[in-house]
Structure 1
């Protein structure tokens, strides 16, 4: 970004409150003066290089420029989830307090959403919107300097901080923009939260690195108007975006009744690169959605299933644009989705439970080395990697013709009759039933039994025995696994707990059920996803 002041006028960040509204725009060429002005304000308020500042990352001009200004000073922004009214206030306050204590934060950026929250450390006010230093220029930090800290999802434990240093960050941004062929005259759209590594690195920072337009919206804007987002991308001739599988499932649910003539009124032919990651991809829904929008010119080969993790900054592997979706039968016989060849900067291997390196088409734990992998978690001395340099990801998968396939998490493995299946294999089959919405089921194995928890609609809850029988029949028919009727449990909508990034907290849901307690539906106040793979979590 040191050349931002030389970029052409009109190109930059465009903030949309509604997808059919007029955006508030900030040119790339304005950023150096704005960042320098904000940095001067923070210095006047006692922030110094190395200071650790909690930054609840709201999607706004002020928060983004403040984030970049803290980096410019050499302070360390701790990028965390902002407070929203749907989050229990005490839980969020406890989270902020624990992060502040564990990572010795000196301030918290006082973004507007924190107004009702009791802060654990002194508030750092937002600079005035017009704060700028005429003629300001940005420095070039050295590779080993920490740019910011991002956090794991907290789906199985309290989120861990991951230091993102400038060298690995530049390297991973180069991988992202090289893979999708990003150009300065392209336009990208994103509504992902900025505390999420996909939203921050894959959306915001990749566009700042290239100097292309970023059309930015809050996540709630997409939730209120999913169809409007696709119409917006057609209208604005967007070339690419970064989304989780949820976006496909949600869009299909809200747009599935569109007639071909309505779809043909859109022109999505400019879209050529859609990174698809963060959670398991529902292939049935993806195929249905690409068929739905085929009259709009949305090509199936624009979708790029990918794999990555916060520990590696973001991207580890991806199918390139134009390559299309590739599936093969996994060693367990289930259809598996390729997340592409690993970036050449990384070395990826798969090891079985005995620690033996697997050959092709052999299932084991995915391990990565090199590339932009972090050395350790923030403020932790223990290295991430083993003595031979490889980091065990906790993800299970296999390699086929040099491409990576991710089948599930090690803790979600379900062994039945000598086969290694995964929770997601069961969940996606259960969710094909009409009374279960996508992402509303949890399957786990306890004491040899397969336990199914699902949020059922009202019609299923009025005939629970019939619904349970249909679940059992579906799993026998599709996976060849017989689940006991008594191990299928129907829940009300909203009972399955999730992390702040929307991932199911399987362990919490199952343990609460086994204790006879209702699962807590509210998300934890955690910070971004841990892994971001097309077939991961």
Structure 2
């Protein structure tokens, strides 16, 4: 592998946007590739950087010919290489991509319709097979009928006609829509500069090198799957193997087998993924422990939902015989509004466990206790904010900084914070432009999450909007779920709401 595959050169430093990034990689590492594992095992398709660049140009020519630069395009794709090519095709044409998933009549059509309306999308790109029921879709959601529907397979033959548009680093590359679990989905405006900065931030914590290999099963239309799973490997010029989330859910073994087969160094997912693997240890390994080699796995990041010490310990105990090391675990914290990463445990560092008094925590106070004592709750540290990222713990009512032993809302400032919500100036001002009331320091992003800093490390305790207050007690839904989960052996871990 060439030296161009690591950050310590001018290749990625000279790039000001994602279009330049792919062009440079196609020029200097034309044969490096993405490999797609449709069933989680079989290499069903691959795409080199040279091929990705060529197809992106062809997509862009079609979009430019139709005069669609500056418009928003829904990308309605299942996980796969076609999605990646269409995503870069939009970037090459200066069309703002809106990553989603294929519409289904009885499941997600209403949400896709709402996002299309919010984004003011005029284009939808999807594989031809997903356009077969287009008439039915438009009958159910008439607002989609006015959009320009394009088949992913029908792009221009002559990519040489592509005209590279001027792209400012702060131009919006794509809209990352929030899940909408507690409110209407909002489109986070993620710029080219946001992505490049955040990936460099991830790289500095996870310490990739020329031997790094990435494996992922995360959804490519979510921030962690898109950035860490697909865009980070391109930024670093390292091999990327990815599979559909369904392949992992149906057979968790395929994730671990892929890590073993390709000697992956960097891979991860939410806490439930490790729980699922640990709970199916007998089915996953059987008598074949020696066949699974996880010794290459240097960074097993864990984020996107509450992280539990018990999960890390169960997974480590289960897979130590396969070469997995506990210090590979890198708990992480981030969100779409900050592009992705806010803080992570560094590669090679041991995760921090902190036992606190649960009763005091209900009153927003941190009282450290001995683990195992009655009323103790163990929290997992999510690492240190670095690389120009500032975190403040703020009282959500007085808007002043909390004392060191107090729980407050997590506020974030820095280059990794996205530009705001698409076409929502009031919500953007409220969320992205917060200032401390006593010092006027800001602007900060209000994450809506609760936590505290201990020796500069960030600990997450819950979400402000999810907080349940009963007779003055602050109760967190995830704690109620964990208590219910452990109340009977018939209840499946990670499946309680």
TM score, norm. by length of structure 2: 0.82
Corresponding residue for 2:289? 263
Which residue among 104, 115, 125 is the counterpart of 1:109? 125
Corresponding residue for 1:43? 64
Q: What number of residue pairs does the alignment pair up?
A: 437
Which residue among 270, 275, 292 is the counterpart of 1:244? 270
Q: Distance in 2 between matches of 1:64 and 1:259?
A: 33
Corresponding residue for 1:7? 28
Q: Distance in 1 between matches of 2:120 and 2:156?
A: 31
Which residue among 159, 171, 182 is the counterpart of 1:156? 182
Aligned counterparts, 1:67-78, within 5 A: 67-78=87-98
Q: Residue 35 of structure 1 contacts residue 66 of structure 1 at CA under 8 Å; is this kept in 2?
A: yes
Q: Distance in 2 between matches of 1:239 and 1:271?
A: 4
Which residue among 10, 14, 34 is the counterpart of 2:55? 34
SS of equivalent residue, structure 2 residue 202: helix
Query: Which of 426-435 and 307-316 deviates more?
Result: 426-435
Q: Distance in 1 between matches of 2:216 and 2:466?
A: 30
Corresponding residue for 1:367? 411
Q: CA deviation at 1:201?
A: 1.0
Residue 419 and residue 217 in structure 1: after superposition, are their counterparts in 2 closer, same or farther (change >3 A)?
Answer: same
Aligned counterparts, 1:209-248, within 5 A: 209-248=235-274
Which residue among 482, 489, 497 is the counterpart of 1:428? 482
Q: CA deviation at 1:136?
A: 7.5
Q: Residue 93 of structure 2 contacts residue 164 of structure 2 at CA under 8 Å; is this kept in 1?
A: no
Q: Distance in 2 between matches of 1:101 and 1:183?
A: 43
Q: CA deviation at 1:172?
A: 0.6
Relative contact order, CA 8 A, sep 6+: which one is greater? 1
Where do 5+ consecutive residues of structure 2 fail to align? 1-20, 139-143, 362-375, 436-441
Corresponding residue for 2:493? 438
TM score, norm. by length of structure 1: 0.76
SS of equivalent residue, structure 2 residue 43: coil
Corresponding residue for 1:401? 455
Which residue among 188, 198, 211 is the counterpart of 2:224? 198
Aligned counterparts, 1:374-413, within 5 A: 374-382=418-426, 383=429, 384-387=432-435, 388-413=442-467
Q: Residue 276 of structure 1 contacts residue 306 of structure 1 at CA under 8 Å; is this kept in 2?
A: yes
Corresponding residue for 1:347? 390
Q: CA deviation at 1:416?
A: 6.2
CA RMSD for the aligned pairs? 2.4
Corresponding residue for 2:365? none
Residue 12 and residue 258 in structure 1: after superposition, are their counterparts in 2 closer, same or farther (change >3 A)?
Answer: closer
Residue 327 and residue 227 in structure 1: after superposition, are their counterparts in 2 closer, same or farther (change >3 A)?
Answer: same
1:233-285 CA distances to partner (integer Å, 9 max, x unpaired)? 10110111131112112212222456686323311111101221001123212
